[in-house]
Structure 1
Amino acid sequence: MSIRRGVVRQSKFRHVFAQAWKAEHCLDDVRITRVTWEGPLCAANPKFIAIIVEAGGGGAFLVLPLSKSGRVDQSTPSVCGHAAPVLDVQWCPHDDNVIASASEDCTIKIWQIPDGGLTEPLSDASVTLEGHSKRVGILAWHPTALNILLTAGCDNVVCVWDVGTGELVYELRDAHPDLIYSVSWNREGSVVCTTCRDKALRIIDPRRGTVLKVRDKAHEGTRPMRAVFLADGKILTTGFSRMSERQLALWDTSDLSEPMAVQEMDTSNGVLLPFYDPDTNMVYLCGKGDCTIRYFEVTDESPYVHFLSLYSSKEPQRGAGFLSKRGVDVNKCEIARFFKLHERKVEPISMTVPRKSDLFQGDLYPDTAGLEPSLLAEDWIAGQDAPPVLVSLSGGYTAPPSKCNTLRGRPKLLPQGDSANSTGTGQTNVTSRETGGEGMEQVDVGRETEGTMERCRREDDPLADILTEIRALRALVLAQGHRIDILERQVARIDDGDV
């Protein structure tokens, strides 16, 4: 009797299993925030875990070393500089000591966390970004360009900042008619995809300020949607059907008329938060209020999104943090780690591929995005794009000494005394809301990128600072010229009586 081919799909991730850590390795007595914002409320990197907590008279979040376990004392110092509850926290992908927070007080703050964690409350932010008129609930660091941060608020506005200078470099005011639910960069950081209360999925070029594509009613239900860019440029969305069934869908960005795949799961009303691992092409779905974590593999073979398994526990999750790949334990074949938020506890959950060999499993751990940025902020502003700089996880990941200064426009953030780089060099003051990204292809400031980055790696080369400053000044002159042109046109319109 012949066996029908394709009955059992071959995949090294078919047997991934999830296991919660023992009670002594959890964080206990953590008062998780009670805000109703539909975000993860937690973020983790190889050094720290950040958890948004209840705070009287303002907003606060804890930052604890990743190795911390056991009871968290109520006197543990927190980051407490916001005047209203914190809604989102995100670690910088290029500096494990830098974290951004967004709050109901309409501000975004950038914090520098000392190695080893906080020894006293931190209320003085390194940078405060002000530009939103309503609460800010979404943060998204650029995946490859240093110091570029995207924010979205309840004013339906998307802002892009250069946090090294504190400048607002792009602002999109008219792209969304209603509340923005999620924002995700593509792998190179050239475009973003967004979801909105109007049920539309949008692909946007933030530098030009233009909506490239729109898919109306990506999910027909009224509950919030989420979207995440995949490594190959496709988009995965989660949402609800007209009958309030939870769905996930896969979209080809070249044609948004119909999804490549749709899967319906259940009728729970918890919003599904997607966490994506580009190295394994796996997607983990954590529903707020659920007791489960579902995980899927995305491939080029129909039906494209393949259900792998389900982790289930007795207690529902209020949020979840997802550890970047550099922090997993490669010696135990751990390919992902979650931090499940209970009401007063944080529980690590490891996703592991069972292997008998003690050798490094290279097929499970392709090179992953490291700390080194591919571009400087001004390079990206000038129109350049680049994929992430990858590092090997063989033998486990150890962060190298910092070679390029994050937030280098802020001298007080440079305790090592690198005064040459603390003068705001390398930052472009292309601010403006009026530019809308038009004409940026004329700003020719990226030709020496590779050379400059190489010199940045060699701290003993003084030419690096000179070249960087020349490039920054050139960009500044061109940007100011563009700004003058805009103002002259506005004055001419006033003189003509058009305004």
Structure 2
Amino acid sequence: MADRVSRVVRQSKFRHVFGQALKKDQCFDNIRITKSSWDSTFCSVNPKYLAVITEAAGGGAFLVLPLDKVGRVDREAPLVVGHKAAVLDLQWCPHDDSIIASGSEDCTVKIWQIPEGGLTANMEEPIVDLVAHQRRVGLVVWHPTAQNILLSGGSDNKVYIWNIGTGDIVSETSFPEVPLSAFWSWDGGKYVASCKDKKVRIVDPRTGNVLKENVCHEGTKPTQVAYLKNNTILTTGFSKMSERQCSLWDENLKNITTLEIDTSNGVMFIFYDPDTSMVYICGKGDTMIRYFEITEDAPYIHYLNMYQSPDPQRGITCMPKRGINVNICEIARFYKLHTKGLCEVIPMTVPRKSELFQDDLYPDTPGDIPALTADEWLAGKNAPPVMVSLKDGYVSTRKTGFVGQVGFIN
């Protein structure tokens, strides 16, 4: 009997990941969050700043808040206001915590450099303006390992790969319908994109050629994609009967497994942690964050648990691993936008009694150093991320008295 239970309930150190929202005074409140109906997370976070797309009259704007400036946000707080229409998507650069890209209904992609310490006045001038899309830009995704390479997708059915350093287009891919989500492979040699025509495509980013394509979910609502470290592809989408699904595919887009989740109607965003092979799935309008572990053996996608709260999420983002608090065994931290202007901070921790650094929870993680220059990548080189140890971020809370006595005896 015990053997049967152990086969059903998979042993995992992440089974008991525990989420608890911080008190309101440790969160961000009074934000005029955008009312846009675009399927975007509406926010992005890194170890220095939180950026949130806001409602703005006569243009597009977003707020940039230093992480230590928690509490009530001043209505007159300075904004990034250079777009002429609503901002639809934004993402911090993985290699420089002061650089952020934004895509807008004004058909442009803009790159901004936030001054040290945050904004003291409205910012109107980007450091780079990328103009090529003929219709609104709803997708911006930085290359994970090469410096200054950015993907943008627009309602003109095009995906452009940009060299930010020169402002040039590296490649262009025309899709039959609007690209809805995109995700780079682990070494940045390919990317996967989902489109409104229900198809998921793997693309060579240097040439723009589509390498593989397949319909992954039969439903008409948007599919989201993630390229996993082992070169499999995870998708969330809808069945013909509008049931929400999560599926795993091989590199030829052949199905490995599909999990039925529920019958809600919100798009499910994927937050992938390559260090632990965990995936957090957050549905728009849901009140929960589900988490799963991806493994090499059947059933491949293992449901672990969920974090539940009374309030639905309007938007959500996840802190890069190098920004989390290893002292409290935190393995993820979410920033969740509520409809009423609150950005709630939700640390996810693994309960442990030990005061030592937990090596098994924190394998090396992608750092902020690019593995390649843009020119090296353009010349055909691929490279995995440059990894860093989180042990340096760990501050020992151990009492020093006993250690001192040992030293004294020696």
Give the TM-score, by structure 1 length.
Answer: 0.77
Listed one character per residue, the Cα deviations across residues 329-365 of structure 1 (whole Å, up to 9, x for unaligned) are 0000000011000021100111111111011111111
Give, in whole Å, the separation in 2 of the partners of 1:201 and 1:168. 23
Give the AA of the match of 2:112. Answer: W
Aligned residues: 393
**How many Å apart are 1:68 and its aligned residue?**
1.8
Listed one character per residue, the Cα deviations across residues 239-284 of structure 1 (whole Å, up to 9, x for unaligned) are 000110000000111x423x21111111111000111111111111
Q: Which residue of structure 2 lines up, in the alignment, with residue 74 of structure 1?
A: 75
1:266 alignment partner, one of 249, 258, 262: 262
Cα pair 1:326 1:397 within 8 Å, conserved: no
**How many Å apart are 1:209 and its aligned residue?**
2.0
Give the AA of the match of 1:351. Answer: M
Q: Which residue of structure 2 lines up, in the alignment, with residue 199 of structure 1?
A: 198
2:331 alignment partner, one of 323, 332, 335: 335
Listed one character per residue, the Cα deviations across residues 379-425 of structure 1 (whole Å, up to 9, x for unaligned) are 11111101110111003179xxxxxxxxxxxxxxxxxxxxxxxxxxx
Q: Which residue of structure 2 lines up, in the alignment, with residue 378 of structure 1?
A: 375
Q: Which residue of structure 2 lines up, in the alignment, with residue 346 of structure 1?
A: 343
After TM superposition, the structure 1 = structure 2 runs for residues 311-460 of structure 1, keeping only pairs within 5 Å, are 311-343=307-339, 344-396=341-393
Give, in whole Å, the separation in 1 of the partners of 2:151 and 2:78. 28
Alignment gaps of 5+ in structure 2: 396-410
Q: Which residue of structure 1 lines up, in the alignment, with residue 219 of structure 2?
A: 221
Cα pair 2:294 2:302 within 8 Å, conserved: yes
3-state SS of the aligned residue for 2:9?
A: coil
Q: Which residue of structure 2 lines up, in the alignment, with residue 96 of structure 1?
A: 97
Alignment gaps of 5+ in structure 1: 399-499
**How many Å apart are 1:367 and its aligned residue?**
0.6
Cα pair 1:57 1:83 within 8 Å, conserved: yes
Q: Which residue of structure 2 lines up, in the alignment, with residue 431 of structure 1?
A: none
Cα pair 2:357 2:394 within 8 Å, conserved: no
Give, in whole Å, the separation in 2 of the partners of 1:2 and 1:164. 60
Listed one character per residue, the Cα deviations across residues 120-151 of structure 1 (whole Å, up to 9, x for unaligned) are 11011111000000000101100000000010
Q: Which residue of structure 1 lines up, in the alignment, with residue 35 of structure 2?
A: 34
3-state SS of the aligned residue for 1:394?
A: helix
Q: Which residue of structure 1 lines up, in the alignment, with residue 167 of structure 2?
A: 166
Matched, 1:237 2:235: yes
Cα pair 1:20 1:347 within 8 Å, conserved: yes
Give, in whole Å, the separation in 2 of the partners of 1:103 and 1:256. 31
Give, in whole Å, the separation in 1 of the partners of 2:351 and 2:267. 31
Give the AA of the match of 1:36. Answer: S
Matched, 1:153 2:171: no
Matched, 1:46 2:47: yes
Which one has a larger percent strand, Structure 1 or Structure 2? 2
After TM superposition, the structure 1 = structure 2 runs for residues 51-66 of structure 1, keeping only pairs within 5 Å, are 51-66=52-67
Q: Which has the larger radius of gyration?
A: 1
3-state SS of the aligned residue for 1:316?
A: coil
3-state SS of the aligned residue for 1:260?
A: strand
Identify the range of structure 1 (164-173 vs 271-280) with the bigger mean alpha-carbon deviation: 164-173
Listed one character per residue, the Cα deviations across residues 91-140 of structure 1 (whole Å, up to 9, x for unaligned) are 00100010001100000100001111111110111110000000001011
**How many Å apart are 1:26 and its aligned residue?**
1.2
3-state SS of the aligned residue for 1:265?
A: strand
Q: Which residue of structure 1 lines up, in the alignment, with residue 247 of structure 2?
A: 249
3-state SS of the aligned residue for 1:20?
A: coil
**How many Å apart are 1:2 and its aligned residue?**
6.7
3-state SS of the aligned residue for 1:326?
A: helix
Identity of aligned residues (%): 58
Which one has a larger percent helix, Structure 1 or Structure 2? 1
Give the AA of the match of 1:383. Answer: G
Q: Which residue of structure 1 lines up, in the alignment, with residue 188 of structure 2?
A: 189
Listed one character per residue, the Cα deviations across residues 451-488 of structure 1 (whole Å, up to 9, x for unaligned) are xxxxxxxxxxxxxxxxxxxxxxxxxxxxxxxxxxxxxx
3-state SS of the aligned residue for 2:390?
A: coil
Q: Which residue of structure 2 lines up, in the alignment, with residue 140 of structure 1?
A: 141
Give, in whole Å, the separation in 1 of the partners of 2:173 and 2:238. 27
Give the AA of the match of 1:155. Answer: D
Q: Which residue of structure 1 lines up, in the alignment, with residue 20 of structure 2?
A: 19
Q: Which residue of structure 2 lines up, in the alignment, with residue 480 of structure 1?
A: none
Cα pair 1:360 1:395 within 8 Å, conserved: no
Q: Which residue of structure 2 lines up, in the alignment, with residue 84 of structure 1?
A: 85
Following superposition, which runs of at least 4 residues in structure 1 exceed 6 angstroms of deviation? none
Give the AA of the match of 2:232. Answer: K
Give the AA of the match of 2:3. Answer: I
Listed one character per residue, the Cα deviations across residues 47-97 of structure 1 (whole Å, up to 9, x for unaligned) are 000000011110000000112211000111011100000001100010001
Give, in whole Å, the separation in 1 of the partners of 2:154 and 2:234. 22
3-state SS of the aligned residue for 1:395?
A: helix
Listed one character per residue, the Cα deviations across residues 408-448 of structure 1 (whole Å, up to 9, x for unaligned) are xxxxxxxxxxxxxxxxxxxxxxxxxxxxxxxxxxxxxxxxx
